[in-house]
Amino acid sequence: MQKNPACQDYFTSKITRYLEPGAAELELTVFPSEENIPAWVDQSKLTDQMQQRPQFFIQFSETYQGIPVADSSHIVRVDALTGKVTEFGIGSRNTSVTLPDSNDAVTADVAKAEYLNRHPLRLVYIWPKYYEQKAPSPQLVYCPVSGERGYIDALTGKTVVLERN
């Protein structure tokens, strides 16, 4: 993940015409596609279908009090060789809804403790694969024991469990 001022200026000028009036705060994140291929992969062994054309995935998020608003993320995918936009998506959010004040949020330590309480970690050996290539050795990693889906409510510090549909 990287921040690129030249890229930010260019795409900010392009996307602002699609934003809600009054969307004054934006956060830009650029994800180059090269980061997705593990270092241990022999790229010469990848077939054309497996190799990704170099591209950038750019995400603009409207922010409130410096915090990204998840429902208002806008995405642009750009071919890194030609500079042409290959995908464009506009998020939408109900701007008539008042967002909570971040000053009322619990601390990150409280949220972290709640998360670890609901998602205890355990040691697991994994042997990563990328298409037909296997990593040279297994890795010892921490994984959550539970597959529970949810999030930590920043105002209460409690877990909100999402129903699986």
pLDDT band at 11 (very low <50, low <70, confident <90, very high): low
20 pLDDT above the threshold of 70? no
pLDDT band at 34 (very low <50, low <70, confident <90, very high): low
Identify residue 59 by its one-letter amino acid code: Q
Region 1-30: what's the mean pLDDT? 62
How far apart CA 48 and CA 55 sit, in angstroms, is 15
Is 52 domain-assigned?
yes
pLDDT tens-digit readout, 114-150: 988 888 899 999 999 988 899 999 999 998 887 678 8
Is residue 75 located within the same domain as residue 106? no
The percentage of the chain sitting over the pLDDT mark of 90, rounded to a whole number, equals 25
Whole-model pTM: value is 0.60
Q: Beta partners for 126?
A: 139
Is residue 58 located within the same domain as residue 122? no
Is residue 68 located within the same domain as residue 11? yes
Is 128 domain-assigned?
yes
Rounded to 10 degrees, the C-alpha dihedral 110/116/30/84 comes to -130
CA 87 to each of CA 19, 76, 96, 152: distance values in angstroms, whole numbers, following the listed order: 17, 6, 28, 32
Region 6-14: what's the mean pLDDT? 62
